[in-house]
Amino acid sequence: MESEALLLVLLGLAGLVAGFTDSIAGGGGLLSVPALLAAGLPPSLALGTNKLQSTAGSLSASRIYLRSGLVSLREALPAIALTALGAATGTFCVTRISTRNLEHLLPWLLLAVFLFFLLRPRMGLKPGPERIPVRRLYPGMGLPLGFYDGFFGPGTGAFWTLGLVALGGRELKEATARTKLVNATSNLVSLLTFLAFGKIWFAGGLAMALGQYTGARLGAGLVVKKGSRFVRPVFLTVVGAMLVKLWFF
C-alpha cells in the first residue's frame, strides 16, 4: 500500500514537471510517457493514461492564455473544430496503419525546427511578416496537425509553433498560447477514444493530472509575464531534448 502511494506521488511530480514544460514549449510526453512505462504499464495503457494527464495540463494552460487575452476563443473556433476532426481521424487510423515511417522521419523534422530557430536568434521575439493570414493559417494547420497528434503525436507543439511564427508572423508568446489551445483539443479527442476502449489507469492518470494542472498553470503564467524571450530558450531546450531522446534512446 505504501509503495503504491509512493508511486502515485512520484507520478504526480513527473506530471508537475511535464505540465510546466508542455505549457511553454510542448514535449511534456518526454517525461510523462517514460514515467508511466517505468511504473509497469503496457504501452497502450501508458498512452491512454498519458492523454488523461496531458489533457488536464493543456486545458489548464489554455485557460490562463485565454484569460490573458493572448488568444481569442471565438477566433480559434475554426481551428479547434478542424483539429478535433483531424485528431479523431488520426486516432482511428493509428489502430490500422503502422507509424514506423513517421518514427524514422520525425527526428529530421524536429532537427529542421531546431535549426530554424537556432540560426535565427531574433525569430519570434517580435511580430514578423504575415506570409499567410493567420485567420486562414490557424484553421488550415488544424486538420493535418490534429491528424498527426491523434495518429502519432511527438513534436506536434513544435510544428504548430514553427508554422505560426514562420508563416503567420506571430511572436513566440502568442504562438505558444495558440498552440496550447489546439493541443488541448486534440488531447481531449484522443482521451475520449482511449476511454471508449478502456485504455486508462485512472489512479495514476489522476495523480499525474493534478501535477500537470499545477505545472501548466505555473508555466503559462511565466509565459504571460515574461514573454517571448523566456519562451525561446525553453523551446530550444525541449526540442533539443526530444532530438537526443529520439536519436540516442
pLDDT of residue 205: 94
pLDDT of residue 2: 62
pLDDT of residue 149: 86
In the predicted model, residues of the chain with pLDDT beneath 50 are none
pLDDT of residue 106: 79
pLDDT of residue 175: 92
State the cell numbers at 196: 471508449
What is this structure's pTM?
0.87
pLDDT of residue 248: 78
